[in-house]
Amino acid sequence: MSHPRLAFEPGSRRALRHGFHQLADAMAVALGPRGRLVAVTRDNTRRPPELLDDGATIARRFVGLPDRFESMGALLARQIAWQVEEAVGDGSTTAVVLARALVDETDRYLAAGHNAMLLRRGLERAAQAVSDELGKLARPLDTPERIRALAASITRDDTLGRFVEEVFDVVGPYGAVDVRTHFGRGHNVRYINGVSWNQGWASSYFTTDGGTAILKEPYLLYTNHSLSQAEQLLPALEAVRQAGTRGLVVIAPEIGGDALSILVANKVRGVLPTLAIKAPGLGPEKTEVLHDLAVMTGGRVIVAEKADRLQDVTLADLGQAREVQAIRSGFTVIGGRGRPAAMRERSARLRSRIPNAAYGRERNRLVERAGKLLGGMALLEIGGATESERDYLKDRAAEAVHVVRLGLQGGVVPGGGAAFLACLPVLERLDLPDEQQPGAQIMAHALAAPLRAILQNSGFGPEAILATLRSRRHGAVYDVVTGDYADSATANIVDPVKVLQVALETAVSGALMAVTTAVLIHRPRSNRSEQVDFRP
């Protein structure tokens, strides 16, 4: 018996696949250097539609389909795209195209009577074998030309590609890079001998010039205590006052009440230059960032969990810097007086945690903190003729910075889908039980899907080119721009290996969720009111 808010097989399978395909097809047309555009209407219908050529952005703009059950399939595809985009910043369309091919091919085997759970085990083992093989195929991203080409292929702007290559040549693979827009038609890069964080002053009374608070040669007090009483800061203020005319910067998670008032009073009355800044980061990360800053400036953190008391603070506990600048939305520490050896040691400890960190925010923050401990950062300023152009190029430049960093850290493999084809021999050698062997065959079929989509978008017949690439040695690619075969290293057609590994892992996970889902349940927006209409 059917129900308007329940769907069972085979209807549930049909609806889920149809919705998944609709969003996957919309994203796939933008894949590759010859990909086409997708037009998305804006909230203001008087404005022209938004023209998109990035699969992740296309997925973000999707909100639903008229059929509630088909929407579930489309939203599953969108979730795959989001997970890859948040993890590695690129490869979302590749992941969705892979997942679509895996779902379609698995359905054929299920229709032939194969067991879904056994196919699942075979697919998971095949995916692990391909991921390991991709790691073996990786080569270092070690020349300026290859870095520039990779960045230019993402931004589709040769000038931006050169800027990204210059930035990493200066700051290295773990250096801190901040991408911003500026009011100008051209692009620019500046290097700051210091570090910036996105937390600003706690009160506008601390400003000294045009909305900016600037302290020269200050002492810095770091603590994870919540500051609300003036007595908590009196020892530090007295120690700094007795040391001369230098000011005091206080960085803590919470600064308010009398504690903030006494700092403002010292500043306004000219008794002592002061500045209060809220600690950057989220949750426990705040204390970690405070320790980073303390190492950079030669101070220590007054930690509440260790029973450290602010009343016992001496001048030796405070950090020192050449200058601290703060605005409403951020602050910069320039010329920290910390020991270079201590900064290198802490940066190395942070980098050692990166391989085991989850892709996404956790890994990105570790990379950012490790880079800032190296003592400087690059500020890449993106310009354009219009605001929309600047925003578009900023997003592409930020993605290029992220992807190039992954390539410098983990290496690159042949691009354009050729690396997946190079992994086909490992599937042929994979020893699986007979009932799981179809999983390897499904994976072998799906690995050709990204390259097939790129070729179709470029107007080429895929089958002959796929057969030729399978017969050629590792490193061969098909350049859809020139319409000829090439060597990936020579033509600079490469992808970071981490992007492909994460795309493959996420695609397999999403596809397996789709093929093992038998019932769809649609929940109404609200069931609290008796007036809710539960009819379809």
User: Residue type at 356?
Assistant: N
Whether residue 536 is predicted with pLDDT greater than 70 in this model: the reply is: no
Predicted confidence at residue 533, as pLDDT, reads: 44
**Token code pair at residue 459:** 């107007």
pLDDT tens digit string along 297-339? 999 999 988 888 998 999 999 999 999 999 988 999 988 898 9
Predicted confidence at residue 3, as pLDDT, reads: 59
Helix extents (H) in 89-200? 92-111, 116-137, 144-155, 158-171
**Token code pair at residue 48:** 């022209």
DSSP state of 201: B
**Mean pLDDT of the region 151-170:** 88
- Residue from 221, 217, 282, 289 nearest 255 by CA: 221
Whether residue 414 is predicted with pLDDT greater than 80 in this model: the reply is: yes
Helix extents (H) in 354-435? 361-372, 387-410, 418-422, 424-429
Q: What's the rounded Cα separation, in Å, for the pair 372 and 365? A: 10
- 237 and 248 Cβ atoms separated by less than 8 Å: yes
Mean pLDDT highest for which of 211-220, 352-361, 521-530? 211-220
pLDDT confidence band for 528 (50 / 70 / 90):
very low
- Sequence ranges of the domains in the chain: 6-139+415-521, 144-193+376-410, 196-338
Whether residue 442 is predicted with pLDDT greater than 90 in this model: the reply is: yes
Predicted confidence at residue 531, as pLDDT, reads: 47
Q: What's the rounded Cα separation, in Å, for the pair 254 and 258? A: 12
- 28 and 36 Cβ atoms separated by less than 8 Å: no
Predicted confidence at residue 491, as pLDDT, reads: 84
pLDDT tens digit string along 208-255? 887 899 999 999 999 999 999 999 999 999 999 998 889 999 999 999
**Token code pair at residue 119:** 């196919």
Residues in the chain: 536
- Residue from 78, 87, 102 nearest 27 by CA: 78
* Domain boundaries 196-338, CATH class: alpha beta
- Residue from 472, 487, 496 nearest 413 by CA: 496
Tokens 């050529």 belong to 53
* Domain boundaries 144-193+376-410, CATH class: alpha beta
Q: Which CA distances in Å does 46 have to 41, 43, 58, 107, 357?
A: 10, 9, 21, 44, 45
**Mean pLDDT of the region 44-72:** 87
**Could you count the other beta carbons within 10 Å of the beta carbon of residue 366?**
20
Whether residue 424 is predicted with pLDDT greater than 50 in this model: the reply is: yes
Average model confidence (pLDDT) across the chain? 89
Q: Which fold has domain 6-139+415-521?
A: GROEL; domain 1 (1.10.560)
